[in-house]
Structure 1
Amino acid sequence: MIGARGLRTLALSLAAVSSPAFAQVDLPGDPYARDPVGIVADPCPSHPKPSDGAGWQAWKLHMLTRDFGQLCRYQAQNREVLASGKPVRVVFMGDSITDNWIGADCDLFTDGLVDRGIGGQTTAQMLVRFRQDVIALKPRAVHIMAATNDIAGNTGAATMATVQGNIETMAELARAHGIKVILASVPPAAAFPWSPDKRPVPQVRALNAWLHAYARRNGFVFVDYYAALATKDGAMKPGLASDGVHPTPAGYAVMRPLALAAVRTSIGER
């Protein structure tokens, strides 16, 4: 029979043996196997963009296990913004719908409006990078459009309360740093091509009702893209999305005046 002291010794020994197996992923042929881990000066080595399905799967595994928030994506651009000395008026934080926006309407992201969307991200991932990609840039306001990928299950399962809590935490962090908050509705989607078993309409509507109420309670600006983009059944209107989820240039053209109106309401400019 092992005494208390012996149990403590055994537990420490097991932790020392087993921790590395849980901390890192080591697969044969992993192109990222030699990337730095732990606390290092430069955690973002350069890699060529994957060119095939297997390459993208390896990249996804790398991202989920070694750069969950994808802090490396905008690290260099953030340094450039800060070095320029130009003021940042609004950071647009979001997923692919925000990420793709600058490509469809690059003129929107000028004069201090900065795009920090990353395709595929959930609210948990955005929260990880919120300090680096929003707070550190010292914007006057942040535009948060999130939760499409939480509903799709991109990083696994989560409760509605968890998703709402992630959004609340981002908003509270912004307010604590004197950054005004613009909360955007979740855009409409009747289905997700990459997650075909999901039926997102009820959850999108529930989240949007919560977002609207939360914004009103806290004095945040709420911008309702859903109302402008959705059919009565909760799908994207014809012609406004390429796959039922991601806006086309026509979809972004509908969103642009709503975004600018929200910016004007929030900071009184443009």
Structure 2
Amino acid sequence: MPNKLQMQDWSYLKKYKKENANLPILESGQKRIVFMGDSITEFWSALCPEFFVGKPYINRGISGQTTPQILIRFRADVIDLQPSIVVLLAGANDIAGNTGPSTLEMILNNIISMAELAKANNIKMILCSLLPAYDFPWKTGSFPAEKIETFNTMLKKYADENEILYLDYYSAMVDERKGLKAAYADDGVHPNKAGYEVMAPIVEKAINEILSNQ
């Protein structure tokens, strides 16, 4: 059962409310990039703060969140910040069932809704593949590896058909079991510093590709 706080603020809109209000107004020519997602996004700032320092990167990840929660936050934590680009990495917690049962189609539909909101507000989107995971330590025996692989295929197909940049972290980080390489994570799911150091140049190449065409 959700606790009282979760029932009052299920999507945790209050987490970044103060930070959002205190962001400086963008000056002419400035570009802002929002990283949106769950724990894999949120923990990036803690483990590799240097990745964000001196750059127009805003981290709006929240640990444990599923795509319906992120969709609810999308206006407050992305659109209202007026970014040029949003980097979206989400869906693994849906597969784990964090907020109840969810099909791969339901996950994709929530991401499509966010992509359509971004497009309507002239925000370029980068759709990130889910990272590989052989199992989830908080829900062992759920066998997510095949679902993650299938979902990434679905996500890429949607991105390609709609001229959205698809970012493939998966291929760079997967092992022979379709899990996350041991060198890149301590728990099989969340990147460690070495994992984020693999991800960083991949996403920065995508960001620069979009910015060079704006």
Deviation at 1:202, TM superposition (A): 0.9
Ranges of 4+ aligned residues in structure 1 off by more than 6 Å: none
Match of 2:146 in 1: 202
2:90 counterpart of 1:131: no
CA distance in 1, matches of 2:186, 2:167: 22
Aligned residues: 210
2:12 counterpart of 1:70: yes
2:168 counterpart of 1:219: no
CA distance in 2, matches of 1:196, 1:253: 27
RMSD: 1.5
The alignment partner of 2:4 has SS state of helix
Q: Deviations over 1:132-153 (max 9, x none)?
A: 0000000001000000100111
CA distance in 2, matches of 1:192, 1:241: 12
Look up the equivalent residue of 1:78 and give its one-letter code. Answer: N
Instruction: Note the 1:164-175 alignment, pairs <5 A.
Output: 164-175=108-119
Is the Cα contact below 8 Å between 2:125 and 2:165 reproduced in 1? yes
Q: Deviations over 1:136-183 (max 9, x none)?
A: 000001000000100111001122221110000001100000000100
Instruction: Using CA pairs under 8 Å that are at least 6 residues apart, name the structure with larger relative contact order, 1 or 2.
Output: 2
Is the Cα contact below 8 Å between 1:185 and 1:222 reproduced in 2? yes
CA distance in 2, matches of 1:209, 1:89: 29
TM-score (norm 2): 0.93
| Identity across matched positions, percent | 40
Look up the equivalent residue of 1:70 and give its one-letter code. Answer: Y
CA distance in 2, matches of 1:261, 1:111: 14
TM-score (norm 1): 0.75
Bigger Cα Rg: 1
Match of 1:45 in 2: none
The verdict on how the C-alpha distance between 1:63 and 1:218 changes in structure 2, with shifts beyond 3 A counting, is farther
2:36 counterpart of 1:93: yes
Look up the equivalent residue of 1:120 and give its one-letter code. Answer: G
